[in-house]
Amino acid sequence: MKLFSDSDAKKRFMKTGLPIIVAIAWSPIIWIVVAALLWPALFALTASWVIAQVVILAVVVLVIFFLLRLFMRTGRKFYSEEQ
């Protein structure tokens, strides 16, 4: 069973779908790191578990967004169409 019908479909998936899969895969790891670093301070400041988790969620989304932009920009430098 072929997953992609042709080479162009595979390239389109690699350009659009792969970064989303990477973001989903790395989200729990980044969540754990950010929570370990920020949880004590956020919980002490807010005294609320929910507010601390919402702030951590926002930080994780921002970190993943910026990392994906960095990786996509780096990938374009090395694997551009002009080569």
pLDDT at 23 over 90: no
* Local structure of residue 35 (DSSP, 8 states): H
Q: Give just the sign of the alpha carbon dihedral 69, 70, 75, 81.
A: positive
Global confidence as pTM: 0.72
Which two structure tokens, joined as six digits, stand for 64? 């993943």
How many of the other CB atoms lie within 10 Å of CB of 35?
17
pLDDT at position 20 is 81
7 pLDDT higher than 80: no
The tokens of 83 are what? 């080569």
